[in-house]
A and B are shown apart, each in its own frame.
Chain A
Amino acid sequence: MHIPDGYLGPITCAFFYLIMIPIWYKSIKELKKLDPRKLPLLGVLTAFSFLVMMFNLPVPDGTTAHMVGGTLIAILMDNPWVATIAISIVLIIQAIFFGDGGITCIGANCFNMGVVLPFVGYYVYKFLRDKVGEVIASGIGAYVGIVAAAIVAGFEFGLQPFIEPGYCPYPFTVSVPAMAFAHLITAGPAAAVVTAIVVWYVKKVRPDLFTSKEQQVSGVNA
């Protein structure tokens, strides 16, 4: 769902940069509240998320889809603000060095995949985890998060022809169903399955990540 350069006009790009500035500011403050010793840990987890975004998963209709690791980071770091900054950095690196998503659209892409996706995913997970367990809740959270982000992206495309013509011409009656359908059917299930399996496996191998806050805070195995 990366938006490429040239799809959003200057007004729309500037609007999303302006929205993201206070969000980035808040996220960085949250990041600084983290124990500085957790910074290397978060760096490695974010590199993991970068690689996960490069996974191409086969889906039954014969195409491929990729997931975004934002919900997973939000759940495992227990803080969606940290996921915002982590995913934003991933998107910046992707835009600068791999042409995936545009530089002018970083604000919009960070809003969709760095804010909407981890926050929706995280709070759906929190709401459900006492009812259906952490593994299933994380899968559902990842699914709802990525679909919500896709719908928001569809609206951004869709409003563009009414804001300033000459950029993406698809009105939201076309773009929202297209984005929602694609992610409901392909990327959503992929994200749900991979996130749930990772959480299930992490619970099995490293249960301390979910139960022992003291150990996480210290950052070092005693």
Chain B
Amino acid sequence: MGFMKHNIVDNVAFSNKLRHVNPKLKVIFALSLLLISVFSTSFIVPLIIFFINSILLLFKAKVPKKIYAVFVGIPLGFGILNLVIFAFLFGTVEWFKINVFGFEIPVYKDGIELGLLLFGRMLGGVSSMLFLAFTTPMVELFYIFRELKMPDVLVDMMMLIYRYIFVLYEEYEKMKFAQESRLGTSNLKSTYKSLGALAAHLFIRAWEKGEKLNITMMSRCYDGKIKLLQTIENPSIKYILFIAIFDIFLIILAYLTKDFTLTSYIKI
């Protein structure tokens, strides 16, 4: 699943329904929601952000539900685990006790609150980045980086790295298949040996591809900067204003709910 992840994201980024919305707009939207979510002090606004991102991704961008569920499942599981750990282990204010075979296990009120807060932040933050990842091809971000005056050498590196992740991944798949068809993973020792050999071969292939790429680029007058012939126009000011107003609304809401505690509304 680990390797399939970036192929899936890259494919969805090119085929979703929000593909042609101005990428600068999407970057501003995603980053602003991320920051509001991560620095909120109660879980309400992060959860609102999570639902907004989910609705946009599933119903406007038409990201396949199964794919979205897989990606959200990771922070969801991690967040729930945190919630359980915090409820039992991190807190000072006891809420109630659970009786298990004569032992009393305390459940802490402030532990649950902290767990909920981290849970909400994680969902809000991850869904904001998934919004950007699923709707915007990585190559468009490279244009934006260049406009932000990131050093040319850095943007060139990023473009080459992203391109060769997929080239090398294909090489990896071929090698792994060849190894497995020769029982290369039949026990722990041969698994390690196969993985080491695979990594070494992949490295040699990477090095050789780098050398060939260097020759290829030089023969096309590469002089230290990869030319990008396209520019991305700035988004309409009215959309910027809309996002700004929406962000301000969320910030005010986050401030108003900053002392909200769920456990004080539940009686035991």
Contacts and interface: CB of A to CB of B under 8 A. Distances in A.
Interface of A: 4-7, 10, 28, 31-32, 36-48, 50-52, 54-58, 60, 72, 76, 85-86, 89-90, 92-93, 95-99, 102-104, 166-169, 193-194, 196-198, 200-202, 205-206, 209, 219-221
Contacts of A45: 203, 206-207, 210
A104 B199 contact: no
Interface stretch (B3-11, B15-23, B228-236): B3-11
Contacts of B211: 41, 219-221
B218 interface: yes
Nearest to B90: A169
Interface of B: 2-3, 5-6, 9-10, 31, 34-35, 37-39, 41, 71, 74-75, 78, 86, 90, 114, 117-118, 121-122, 125-126, 129-130, 132-133, 138, 141, 151, 153-154, 156-165, 167-169, 172, 188, 191-193, 195-197, 199-204, 206-207, 209-211, 213-215, 217-218, 222-224
B158 A54 contact: no
A203 to B, nearest CB: 10
B178 to A, nearest CB: 16
Contacts of A206: 204, 207
Given A6-B122, A169-B114, A197-B200, A50 B157 contact: no
A46 B214 contact: no
A169 B117 CA distance: 12
Contact of B224 (A39, A197, A220): A39
A38 B199 CA distance: 21
The majority secondary structure among interface residues of chain A is helix
B207 A103 contact: no
A196 to B, nearest CB: 8
Contacts of A60: 188
Contacts of A4: 75, 78, 122, 125-126
